[in-house]
Amino acid sequence: MSRAAFRNAGCLLAVVLVCLGGQGASALPVFPGAVGFGTHTVAGRGGKILRVTNLNDSGPGSLRAAMTASGPRVVIFEVSGIIDLKTTLYVGDPYLTVAGQTAPSPGIMVRGAPIVLYGHDMLVQHIASRPGSKYPPGEILNNRDAFCISSDPNQECYNIVLDHVSGSWSTDEVLSTWADDNGVVRDVTISNSIFAEALTNAGHTDEATGEPEAHSTGVLIGRNSRRVSLLRNVLAYNRWRNPLCRDNYTDVQVVNNLVYLSDPYDRISIASDGRANLPVTASVCGNVYFIDKDAESVRRPYAILAHTLPDHVLNLYVRDNWLFNPNTGRGDPYWTPANGDPWQVVAYGDHQGTLHRLEAEPPQFAALKVPLLGNREDVERHLLANAGARPGDRDPVDARIIRQIRQREGSFIDSPEEVGGYPQWRPVTRRLVTPKNPNGDDDGDGYTNLEEWLHRYAAAVEKGTGRRPSARPSQQPRGRANSRR
């Protein structure tokens, strides 16, 4: 089927299309309240419903079969548990919605290999990816992200939304956006998620020497990335790249993220490098950075590192970023810049190019109307309560990470076994009854009946309300899972 056919099938109810990211853009956000670049994608709207009914790596009823199918599609889950991937899960066919919120408790966890999205118009919600360093033995550890957003050579990957996902136990970045060979990744939002515990000494090697190296890296907004929003995420127990933005990219906003425990030299890193003819513009607002207790002996307190190479330009806007410094010796551990100057929390490295300190938010970011959560306590409180795949129904891994942050505990790890290993889950299954007219719009609000059904499932796992959608499962879950708290 042609891309035009995909697009027409996926936009049955999007009568008026607007130019908000190109093909697949709709007048509606992909789900209510979605903000950021690419969030007006139609994703799988109006497509066929594909059911994940088993935890197999491949074959009928598997996650791989559903995500790699062709045509607009909405993936729902009639099973929960751990899916062991034997090879990387590459997903290139466009117009996709993955609704992990429909899985029975404790949800879906993928391990063994990365999930790589390289198509366009995709929404992935409410799943966890924790590759580890042992599954399967033939995979290359140097490229084992939990999630990767990439593109084919000379192609574009765009309109991608990752929302309420959990990533950890990767041997490369937990999350990356990256395109080689003249490819482009653009119009991407990553929101309301947890990216934590990238493994330190777990098989990653130096590309030049082949020698083992420590490589606990969180989030990389990398080569050939354009218009990327990183909003309301928790980045914890990753030594470096929390995040790192570098290499021929531009238009990145980093808003209301919480960074907990990184290497003493690491910060929110905004670099201007790569091709000299592409000025970098970035907005960094409302983030909370927990400085390591040893960092003050390294250099002055700072939350953001800006660096520009010769002949490069960095246009940077910063506002309301807070630094939690346990070394202050005062009752208030937050380091307060003198005179409220937002640039007091910015340090400069490799500053040989041109840095423009912007006094107003650039229009491409202001147009997105991303709301700020409030003060520093509001940011921490909101993110610890609401980030991750299933914040209202957390699995043991996410629950432990959030608990450690609250208690100001935890450290970097080399292996999942250091923190209890993978949970032991038995599959839980249930039959889902979808709306009778899934692609209709009974209330005329633009969202299909199926999408509104999915929104109610999302509310249940995000808020812990316990409410079930009106189209109830036809039978109760079978099997037992271990403790989720």
Task: Please give the distance of CA 288 from its chain centroid, rounded to a whole number.
Answer: 17
User: Average pLDDT for residues 116-121, to the nearest whole number?
Assistant: 98
Q: Is residue 459 part of a domain?
A: no
pLDDT in tens, 459-472: 999 985 434 444 44
Say yes or no to pLDDT of 485 above 60.
no
Going by C-beta distance under 8 Å and a sequence separation of 6 or more, which residues neighbour residue 456? 467, 468, 469, 470
User: Average pLDDT for residues 181-203, to the nearest whole number?
Assistant: 92
Instruction: Place 451 in a pLDDT band, splitting at 50, 70 and 90.
Output: very high
Residue 450 has a pLDDT of 99
Q: Is residue 207 part of a domain?
A: yes
In the chain, how many domains are there? 1
Residue 134 has a pLDDT of 78
Q: Is residue 457 part of a domain?
A: no
CA pair distance 387, 25, nearest whole angstrom: 26
Instruction: Place 296 in a pLDDT band, splitting at 50, 70 and 90.
Output: low
CATH of residue 54: 2.160.20.10
How is residue 418 annotated by DSSP? G
Instruction: Place 209 in a pLDDT band, splitting at 50, 70 and 90.
Output: low
Residue 465 has a pLDDT of 44
Say yes or no to pLDDT of 206 above 90.
no
Residue 212 has a pLDDT of 61
Say yes or no to pLDDT of 484 above 50.
no
pLDDT in tens, 22-71: 457 778 999 999 999 999 999 999 999 999 999 999 999 999 999 999 99
Residue 7 has a pLDDT of 35
Residue 213 has a pLDDT of 61
User: Average pLDDT for residues 395-408, to the nearest whole number?
Assistant: 96
User: Average pLDDT for residues 218-231, to the nearest whole number?
Assistant: 97
Q: Is residue 437 part of a domain?
A: no
pLDDT > 70 fraction of the chain, expressed in percent and rounded: 82
Tokens of 155: 């192609």
Going by C-beta distance under 8 Å and a sequence separation of 6 or more, which residues neighbour residue 167? 128, 129, 130, 145, 146, 147, 174, 175, 193, 194, 195, 196
pLDDT in tens, 424-437: 999 999 999 999 99
Residue 334 has a pLDDT of 72
Residue 70 has a pLDDT of 98
Residue 323 has a pLDDT of 87
Pairing state of beta strands 313-319 and 346-348? unpaired
Q: Is residue 466 part of a domain?
A: no
User: Which stretch of 6-20, 259-273, 423-437 has the lowest confidence by average pLDDT?
Assistant: 6-20
Instruction: Place 265 in a pLDDT band, splitting at 50, 70 and 90.
Output: confident
Q: Which domain does 33 fall in, by range?
A: 3-419
Q: Is residue 433 part of a domain?
A: no
Residue, of 478 and 248, whose pLDDT is higher: 248
pLDDT > 90 fraction of the chain, expressed in percent and rounded: 69
Q: Is residue 481 part of a domain?
A: no
Nearest to 163 by CA among 230, 95, 236: 230
Is residue 382 within 8 Å of 402, Cβ to Cβ? no
Go through 3-29 and write b for each residue having 16 or more CB atoms within 10 A of its CB, e for each that does not: eeebbebbbbbbeeeeebbebbbbebb
Say yes or no to pLDDT of 106 above 70.
yes
User: Average pLDDT for residues 234-238, to the nearest whole number?
Assistant: 97
User: Which stretch of 77-86, 195-204, 255-264, 323-332 has the lowest confidence by average pLDDT?
Assistant: 323-332
Tokens of 434: 């979808």
| Residue 35 CB neighbour total at 10 angstroms | 17
User: Average pLDDT for residues 324-345, to the nearest whole number?
Assistant: 71
Instruction: Place 144 in a pLDDT band, splitting at 50, 70 and 90.
Output: confident
Average pLDDT, the chain: 86
Q: Is residue 331 part of a domain?
A: yes
CA pair distance 157, 186, nearest whole angstrom: 6
Indicate which residues carry an active-site annotation.
Answer: 241
Is residue 321 within 8 Å of 342, Cβ to Cβ? yes
Residue 461 has a pLDDT of 98
Instruction: Place 127 in a pLDDT band, splitting at 50, 70 and 90.
Output: very high
pLDDT in tens, 352-386: 899 999 999 999 999 999 999 999 999 999 999 99
